[in-house]
Amino acid sequence: MNAIIICIADEILTGNTIDTNSTFIAAELRNIGIKTLRILTVPDDAIAIKESLALAEKVADIVITTGGLGPTKDDKTKLAFAEYFHDELIEDEATLRHLKKLLEKRNRLHLLEINREQASVLSGAIVFQNDFGTAPSMLVTRNGIHFICLPGVPFEVKPLMRDKIIPFLQEAENLPVLLTRTVSVSGIPESLLAQKIEMWESALPQDVSLAYLPSGSRIRLQLRTEGSNARRVQQHLNMQIEKLLPLIKENLISTDGDGIAEIVRALLTDKSFTVSTAESCTGGGVARLVTSVSGSSAYFKGGVVAYSAEQKKKLLDVKAEILEKHTAVSEETAKEMALGCRRLFGTDYAVATTGVAGPNKGDDGEEVGTVYIAVSSQNGERAVRIFMPHLDREDLMNFASAKALEELVKTMILQK
């Protein structure tokens, strides 16, 4: 089955907002075997919305719109759907009750009349109530094609897709079980890895696909397969992974989880190790990544954002002579920060970052885009320098934060 996603939002076309809904929806569809053919972005305009629906109807089995369902006059999705399907909008009692209950829970019952219009739905639609917002989702089926409109707020889109839309599509279309597993390796070039596992890859069954997904200093090997029985599909994929593991055991990071924070969690919890963070140029980004996965309280003991040289000395015990001789942006300072952080929090590992995020050159003489990352453990400190002058400030901070966790992973792998 194929899908087209239509993002309806003036603010995305003007660059004021980033579209995260489409990538999330596409990933959820992919997980049940539905391929996204196109992602379209159109303005909050009834004519533009209807034109995009007509285009999508020619090639897709499923059409999902996101956005344009709010209570204000610039939200045109419901009107466009009504005109496109020659249907009428009616006040739905179940939706009105749901809306009243939601506003009551938020102590905003006085807004009921303002939001009452959102209880209007297409007479021929299946309605999925929105448990986290006032705009319900609707589904219209015509000529075997499912048209689904979702609100635009990401924290409303996600539960609607996961808990209501995906289960509906699976049941309605009797979709196969699609399973993906990711094996992560580090410390080996992609070409050498391909050569190392060539015979295993050539022997993979036809129903198992393999993708190489480089990500920083690691490579993710993504295996996918499908079938009608979940248990058998799982066993089938596990069998292929068991054959792979002996070939990559020296470089293996994780056999479950594809994000770097998930890999950190797996490695730390496996040995009951703890970690802390000392940050300068990343401004807390490393700590944010570590704590972005559930269960992180078991191994993350705390972090420090020591932005100034004075706070590096005061909080992390970085020696004044180190700062004077090597400056705050240096390998030596990064190592001192990591060591001081590990001692401060009493953790098995500590990660530190210091650099020049830009756009202005730092007082230390280092070029914009320079970052030093250090990892401290009972075996000492190791540091690396990265130089990414082409990245803007926000992108550099995000890249360096992820890279810091990759260096933590590399250190733990080396010390296995």
Q: Domains of the chain: which residue ranges?
A: 2-173, 177-254, 260-414
CA separation for the pair 290, 288 (Å, rounded): 6
Residue 144 has pLDDT above 90, yes or no: yes
- What pLDDT, on the 0 to 100 scale, is given for residue 217? 66
**Region 145-154 average pLDDT:** 96
Average pLDDT over residues 242-265: 87
Residue 410 neighbours by CB distance under 10 Å: 18
Q: What is the pLDDT of residue 73?
A: 72
Q: How far is 161 from 282, CA to CA, in rounded Å?
A: 33
**pLDDT greater than 80 at residue 416:** no
Q: How high is the pLDDT of residue 178?
A: 83
Where b means 16+ CB within 10 Å and e means fewer, 306-339 reads beebeebbebbebeeebbeebbbbbbbbbbbbbb
Confidence of residue 216 (pLDDT cuts 50, 70, 90): low
Nearest to 258 by CA among 220, 291, 286: 220
Average pLDDT over residues 372-383: 97
Taking CA atoms, 173 is separated from 10, 12, 62, 144, 167, in Å, by 33, 32, 11, 10, 10
Is the pLDDT assigned to residue 40 strictly greater than 90? yes
Please state which architecture CATH assigns to domain 177-254: 2-Layer Sandwich (3.30)
Report the pLDDT averaged over residues 406-411.
Answer: 90
**How many C-beta atoms lie closer than 10 Å to residue 177's C-beta?**
17
What pLDDT does residue 259 have? 84
Mean pLDDT of the chain: 92
**2-173 belongs to CATH 3.40.980.10:** yes
Find which of 1-10, 252-261, 262-271 is predicted with most confidence, using mean pLDDT: 1-10
Are 405 and 416 within 8 A, CB to CB?
Answer: no
pLDDT of residue 257: 65
CATH 3.30.70.2190 fits 260-414, yes or no: no
